[in-house]
Structure 1
Amino acid sequence: MKVLVTGSEGLIGSSLSIALSRLGITTLGFDNKLEPHHPYYGDILNYEQVTEAINDVEGVVHLAAVSRVVFGEKNPKLCWDTNVEGTKHILEAALASPKKPWVLYASSREVYGQQEELPVKETAPLIPVNIYGDSKIAAEKAVENATQRGLKASVVRFSNVFGSVCDHSDRVIPAFCLAAAHGTRIRIDGKDNLFDFTYIDDVVQGILSFMYQLSQNDDPLPPIHFTMGQATSLGEVAFFAQQASRHLIEIVEAPPRNYDVARFYGDPSRAETLLNWKPCVSVQEGMRRLIHQYRLASQVVQKEYACL
């Protein structure tokens, strides 16, 4: 099987590509973060590039996106164009491809917005509170439309994935883990806000299970979210960072951002039923691993500097 991974240089895409290669699955990357001369350079807003990349694959894991709420607030047009129009390019190219590949679209728990009933099920109303969530719902609707036209496509919704030094260093868990590794200050924007954090290795295993189901079955699966089913406050995350650190860490509290969901955790039962998937790595253990990664990365930099 040959699979295209869009957003292959990102947190999830890079980890997934490694896992696929280890399984002997031919994996093609597609990312505009690469240099233009790189064979896997591509922009999902360029339909010709998308068509060429999809033409000879059996499956597509579509991760490429403006992937953060804050980015959507700062540049709403780019967020909408990339997440909606770019996804439509992927779907149209897949429909036009002679191999008609399956497509797994990466959405987000941001589509749920602020729910009254917790834990959240996939059947909950979609009431986003930010531009990013709006764009993800529009893309999900495009996926649904493509399935009605004969494409085998499904939606997976991620929830606060973490666990790699390849992640944005200013996201909450990477920022806290960096502070723990180096002894710098932690800023908490809304210490009582609750989130459902998922570790990257668990998420990759879930994607692999989803891919297998899509490749083996004639019909697509309904939307599935990957969640721990456990709420963790930002205050608790900061405490975990303090516990794992070798330094005294100053914690500065600030009000929550007005475009963030304040409380979310999901019900993981659909993923367990349909994909036989259950998360294994707790938030505390995942943070311990990430702090260790940051320490190792710092040691490598120090050794390279010493050799200059």
Structure 2
Amino acid sequence: MSTYCVTGGAGFIGSHLCERLLRLGHRVVCVDNFNDAYDYKIKIKNILNSKGMESTFQSFNKETDLLHLQQAVDGDGYRLVAADIRHADELDGTFAGERIDAVIHLAAMAGVRPSIADPLLYEDVNVRGTLHVLEAMRKHGVRKWLCASSSSVYGNNAQVPFSERDIVDRSISPYAATKKACEVLGHTYYHLHAIDTMMLRFFTVYGERQRPDLAIHKFVRMLDRGEELTVFGDGSSRRDYTYVGDIIDGIVGALHYVEGHENVYEIVNLGTNRTISLLELVRGVEQALGKTARIRRLPNQPGDVARTYADISKAKRLFGYDPRTDFADGLNKFVTWYRGNTNGQALDRRADL
């Protein structure tokens, strides 16, 4: 049994990863600050789901809820730490109290458009926060880590599919720039402190527990309510949508690779090597819900890229990455989850958790 620290472990991808690691028999230290990017009670439910718990308790306020949550979930190989990666002392205390074998660093401020509105916050969390994680690892002798990067680092790359060999020095959003900065910092700590590193460039992850601000969740919610869908541009933009179960397979495979090798610094794409247009996404949501959308068209938004398209041959070669979920099947899984999850809404303050 290994002990893994998962930062951002209460979020969409993080909670699925914690669930998988627990199922594999490992110990998990979940670090999350439950920030206000969306309702913290969604993350509470993610954690309960990841531990297979149906137990409920009354919601009162954030501080009390998190205390009750820790009391409910700690144990059986799981520890919840409500901490902010920007606070070095909180990370230091966490690492000092555990013998951590590897870190999977998922915590970040996410999203292209919000990063344009508040670039200093994104720099503070994504760059400085990542430095605090790396410093805690250096100080406490943790020499294996994975870090979440993003397909956004490719910008409007003309060459497709996107390869890890491509030059990614032309970011078009602060979010993308912070993720590129994390890749560079990862290499710095690999070079100076022999921290074996795998940077994972995620391509548009979707599936159960997806954040409420992401396109598929928003489209399903709005269409289900009979609301008009907002489409930016002419609908021809394309994304490499990757089902969360396939992403978790990729993370676990990358983790095993880093643990089994020395002197590692690698960047790998985790996508599907397939693309879906925005209008195809809308049609897929219509089919999954059995409803017809009303569409409102608006101009393209600053920071949005025309397409993402992953070359996944390197991940296949290094650790056998093989995404198998068809987009329509993954979309149906999300809709099934949405319908069973209080219609995908944030939990009411008086609701049972």
Q: What's the TM-score bracket when you normalise by the shorter of the two chains?
A: over 0.9
Kindly state the Cα deviation for residue 300 of structure 1 after the two structures are TM-superposed.
10
Does the aligned pair in 2 maintain the 1:106–1:157 contact within 8 Å? yes
Corresponding residue number in structure 1 for 2:261: 217
TM-score, normalised to structure 2's length? 0.81
The CA distance in 2 between the partners of 1:132 and 1:300, in whole Å, is 26
Q: 1:300 to 1:272 in 2, by over 3 A?
A: closer
Q: Which residue number corresponds to residue 10 of structure 1?
A: 11
Local SS of the residue matching 2:132: helix
User: How much has 1:180 moved relative to structure 2?
Assistant: 4.4
Matched, 1:152 2:193: no
Equivalent in 137, 158, 163 of residue 121 of structure 1: 163
CA contact (8 A) 1:181 1:294 kept: no
**Paired position in structure 2 for 1:87:** 130
Matching residue of 2:83: 42
1:73 aligns with 2:116: yes
Whether contact under 8 Å (1:180, 1:246) holds in the other structure is no
Bigger shift: residues 289-298 or 7-16: 289-298
Residue 152 of structure 1 and its aligned partner are, at CA, apart by 1.4
Moved more, 33-42 or 250-259: 33-42
Which residue of the partner structure matches residue 105 of structure 1?
147
| Equivalent position of 1:22 in the other structure | 23
Percent same amino acid among aligned pairs? 27
Q: Using a 3 Å threshold, how does the CA distance of structure 1 residues 140 and 180 change in structure 2: closer, same or farther?
A: same
Go from structure 1 to structure 2 and tell me whether the alpha carbon gap of 1:115 and 1:251 turns closer, same or farther (over 3 Å shift). same
CA distance in 2, matches of 1:257, 1:67: 16
4+ long deviations beyond 3 Å: 34-39, 179-184, 298-301
Please state how far the C-alpha of 1:282 moved relative to its aligned partner: 2.1
Residue matched to 2:51:
none
Aligned pair in 2 of structure 1 residues 300, 117: CA closer, same or farther (>3 Å)?
Answer: closer
* Structure 1 residues not aligned, in runs of 5+: none
For 2:282 and 2:224, how far apart are their aligned partners in 1? 13
Question: Which of 263, 270, 280 lines up with 1:236 in the alignment?
Answer: 280
Amino acid at match of 1:259: G
Post-superposition shift, 1:178? 2.3
Q: Pick closer, same or farther for the CA change 1:7–1:299 going to 2, 3 Å.
A: closer
Q: 2:228 aligns with which of 168, 182, 185?
A: 185
1:163-178 to structure 2, matched below 5 A, reads 163-164=207-208, 166-178=209-221
- C-alpha contact 1:181 1:295 (8 A) present in aligned 2: no
Give the whole-Å Cα distance in 1 for the aligned partners of 2:269 and 2:226. 35
Greater CA drift, 183-192 or 5-14: 183-192
Corresponding residue to 1:294 among 320, 335, 338: 338
Helix, strand or coil for the counterpart of 2:247?
helix
Rate the CA distance shift 1:299–1:225 in 2: closer, same or farther, 3 A. closer
CA drift at 1:177:
2.3
Aligned CA RMSD, in angstroms, stands at 2.2
SS at 2:82's partner residue?
coil
- Aligned residue pairs: how many? 303
Structure 1 equivalent of residue 101 of structure 2? 58
Cα distance change, pair 300–78 in 1 and its aligned pair in 2 (3 A): closer
User: Is contact 1:181-1:292 (8 Å) kept?
Assistant: no
* 1:274 corresponding residue in structure 2: 318
| Contact kept? 2:246, 2:324, Cα under 8 Å | yes
SS where residue 164 of structure 2 aligns?
coil
Q: How many angstroms apart in 1 are the aligned matches of 2:119 and 2:110?
A: 12
After superposition, the Cα gap between the structure-2 partners of 1:196 and 1:299, relative to the gap in structure 1 and judged at 3 Å, is: closer
Stretch of structure 1 that moved more, 153-162 or 244-253: 244-253
Per the normalisation by structure 1, the TM-score is 0.92
- 1:263 to partner: Cα distance: 1.8
